[in-house]
Amino acid sequence: MEISPSLLNSKIHEFEKNVTLLDKHNIQEIHIDVMDGCFVKDQANGPKLIKDIRPLTNLHFDIHLMINQPELKIQNYLNVGANNISFHIEATNDATFVADQIKSAQIEVGVALSPSTPVHALDSILSYVDRVLVMTANPGRPEGHFYKETINKIAELNSIRKTKDMNFIIQADGKIDDNAAELLSKNGCDNIVVGGFIYSFSDPEVQIEKLKKSILK
């Protein structure tokens, strides 16, 4: 299972230092949250900021759009240097259009679902996507917690993937610590987004190693 550190949780003046240390731990990807103040209450990380940090690293950029009506704004994110862009199924009535826009820019496409959204909400889009992002905490709520029930959705997606011979990556995001990482890994999750468990501690490198150990258990 891969770890995608969520750089939103790192202090902006430590960004460069924190990006550099990820290379030492064989991290392949960073996760960048975009918040519009509507789909979630905070605003963060517009296209200009993402474009500005792109030259600082060769890591894969995984962008998570927490924005309403991505069909109206997706063009703004197609030239920022993203390798993957995930949008929320709850935020659009035009999911296949958004997916097609992302794919036509040769960027991988992901679809995200909030903790209260069932997997069957993805029925019409699953065959189009490269990744499914399962929120394990409520989006845009830093005070929230990990919902253990969301593990069932990871297992369900893993089963659908096997039965239907699909290839999408299953990613989990929200309040993941080393215990949650172990559970997720055992239930078919391929990638975890981790913010606070890495960046709220004095030594992010120690935290990354703790996560790695729990994944190997």
Ligand X SMILES: O=C(CO)[C@H](O)[C@H](O)COP(=O)(O)O
Contact between 9 and ligand X (CB under 6 A)?
A: yes
Contact between 88 and ligand X (CB under 6 A)?
A: no
Contact between 31 and ligand X (CB under 6 A)?
A: yes
Separation of alpha carbons 31 and 85, rounded Å: 10
Q: Are strands 43-44 and 29-36 parallel, antiparallel or unpaired?
A: antiparallel
**Burial class, 194, CB count within 10 angstroms (exposed 0-12 / middle 13-18 / buried 19+):** buried
Contact between 174 and ligand X (CB under 6 A)?
A: yes
Q: Are strands 191-194 and 169-173 parallel, antiparallel or unpaired?
A: parallel
Catalytic: which of 42, 52, 100, 173?
173
Stretch that binds ligand X, among 49-57, 134-142, 157-165, 178-186 (CB under 6 A): 134-142
- Which among 11, 2, 3, 1 is positioned nearest to 199, based on CA atoms? 11
Contact between 29 and ligand X (CB under 6 A)?
A: no
Q: Is 33 annotated as catalytic?
A: yes
Catalytic: which of 33, 36, 62, 190?
33
Residue partners of 58: CB distance under 8 A and separation at least 6 = none
Q: How far is CA 10 from CA 24, 34, 196, 201, in A?
A: 17, 15, 9, 10
Residue 51, number of CB atoms within 10 A of its CB: 14
Among 125, 155, 196, 205, binds ligand X (CB under 6 A): 196
Which residue, 99 or 194, has its beta carbon nearer to ligand X? Answer: 194
Contact between 62 and ligand X (CB under 6 A)?
A: no
Residue with the closest Cβ to ligand X? 195
Contact between 36 and ligand X (CB under 6 A)?
A: no
Give residues in contact with ligand X (CB under 6 A). Answer: 6, 8-9, 31, 33, 64, 137, 139-140, 173-176, 193-197
What positions carry a catalytic annotation?
Answer: 33, 173
